Homo-oligomer: A and B are copies of this chain.
Amino acid sequence: MPSQFDPASGTRDFLGADVERREHVFGVIRSVFTSYGFEPLQTPAFERLDVLMGKYGDEGDKLVFKILRRGEHEASGEADLALRYDMTVPLARVTAAYGSQLPMPYKRYAMGPVWRADRPGKDRYREFVQCDLDTLGSASPVADAEVLCAHHDALAALGLREFSIQLNSREVLAGLLESFAIPPEIGPSVLIALDKLERLVPADVVAELAERDLDASVAGELVETLTAPDATDRLRVALKHSSAGTSGLDVVDGVLSIVAGQIPAERIAFTPRLVRGLSYYTGPIWEFVTPRAAGSIGGGGRYDHLIEQLGGQDVPATGSSMGIDRLLPLLPDEEGTPPARLDVAVTAMGSELASEPFDLAASARAAGLRSSVYLGSSGKLGRQLKWASDSGARWCLIYGEQERKAGVVTVRDMRSGDQAEVPVQELSQYLAGLAGQDS
């Protein structure tokens, strides 16, 4: 039951280990994208309201969090700012604002929270991390291939297993409609129905196509072509007389040949029935899928005029996007398992104002270890050892009257219980040695 102390509906608090795991994943992704020469872009959490409104359709507009005007204007009940809803509209604004100061092509990634006032549910949040990778200013299929490969490499670097890439092209789909002589006015509606081949049986899609005013025999033939075991071969034949279709096929084949050295062949396939919901794509489109999750775990494509429509420059563009919150539960457990809170716990016997325990902790840090002194009020070793154990510490340092006199510190292995006396001035080196054996 939600309490008054829970975070606001649809948002989450991330405590220590969760933050470390997430930051590790962000770091791996950043490092792959950077290795491809993509640079980061960070835009503010909020934009002026007029920058966002009207960009996401009526349904999307309703999900934008709006910020009330302030001061004397607060009483008006009007908003003048709104929280970032995606990474694409801010990108369009940035291209308009910085123009020729940006490198061309402009290869950028953006990773950070976006906010949508969706009804919260299982795995659906109002604050979630979006990660987008885009290249603006190149019409070359090499740019599509590069984005696709960088996205692929990031998932591979995260240790994701059993994922694959479905590749198609909007031009192939346009050619398909043309080849089947489907009236242009019902084209978009037909594509929406075909998109459901992923989760409906073919007969249901045929029925839905008929409902959308497509001739029943054409609908049957279309679905048959797309779902046959030799679908891609049939499609190649069907598209022979469509220039859009032929050009789309060439680009799909081009992307496949460019990535052939980097993406294992069994992990990527031309998938003619892939439609990808959003209407703004103009060239290749792709989705990353895994048998371990319904729907896609990321995807993208070429969207050559969208940036201009969103208020930016008219540049060719291609990009890929992943929702980190969908991805995290699929990663192997060992990936990003954070280290324990402490490596070395330092007990503090005797005067609380003594600097020695503090200096011992500093020696452990100098060895690259996480270390803290005991901050509680108990002078009992047993209580302090329990704290060390609760902290997950691998080693505990004991420094009492006896050690002080002898100029040593007792290093206790918290797993085995073994103890060794180490001269204070050799502590850092000794701990570094232990840590080296451990890793």
**Residues of chain A whose beta carbon lies under 8 Å from any beta carbon of chain B:** 3-8, 11-17, 19-20, 22-23, 30, 34-37, 39-48, 50, 62, 65-68, 70-71, 74-79, 81, 83, 93-94, 96-98, 102-103, 105, 107-108, 113, 115, 117, 127, 135, 137-143, 145-146, 149, 253-254, 257-262, 311, 341-342, 348, 352-355, 357-359, 361-362, 365, 368-377, 390-391
Contact = CB atoms under 8 A, between A and B. Distances in A.
Contact of A262 (B20, B70, B102, B359): B359
B16 A145 contact: no
A138 B352 CA distance: 12
A355 B259 contact: yes
Contact of A34 (B48, B370, B375): B370
A67 B68 contact: yes
Contacts of A365: 35-36
A42 B25 CA distance: 15
A352 B35 contact: no
Nearest to A367: B35
Contact of A13 (B97, B254, B373): B97
B142 A375 contact: yes
A39 B22 CA distance: 13
Given A37-B372, A77-B77, A42 B14 contact: yes
A139 B372 contact: no
A22 B43 CA distance: 13
A370 B36 CA distance: 6
Contacts of A253: 353
Contacts of A16: 39-41, 108
Given A44-B13, A108-B16, A258-B354, A35 B71 contact: no
Contact of A353 (B3, B66, B139, B257): B257
A47 B79 contact: no
A23 to B, nearest CB: 7
A77 B68 CA distance: 8
Nearest to A353: B254
Given A14-B41, A36-B365, A44-B127, 10 more contacts: A7-B44, A7-B97, A12-B44, A66-B70, A135-B375, A139-B377, A140-B377, A142-B373, A142-B374, A257-B355
Nearest to A135: B375
A323 to B, nearest CB: 17
A117 B46 CA distance: 12
A38 B178 CA distance: 62
A362 B98 CA distance: 30
Contacts of A68: 65-68, 77, 79
A352 B39 contact: no
A355 B262 CA distance: 9
Nearest to A3: B97
Contact of A140 (B47, B94, B376, B390): B376
B7 A43 contact: yes
A13 B36 contact: no
B70 A62 contact: yes
A97 B264 CA distance: 47
Given A40-B16, A355-B258, A390 B103 contact: yes
A293 to B, nearest CB: 24
B371 A35 contact: yes
A371 B34 CA distance: 9
Contact of A352 (B11, B105, B141): B141
Contacts of A97: 3, 5-7, 13
30 contacts: A7-B43, A8-B81, A11-B45, A12-B44, A13-B43, A13-B44, A13-B94, A15-B98, A15-B102, A16-B39, A19-B40, A19-B41, A20-B39, A23-B40, A35-B370, A36-B371, A45-B115, A46-B65, A62-B70, A66-B67, A76-B77, A140-B375, A140-B376, A142-B348, A142-B374, A146-B358, A146-B373, A257-B355, A261-B359, A262-B362
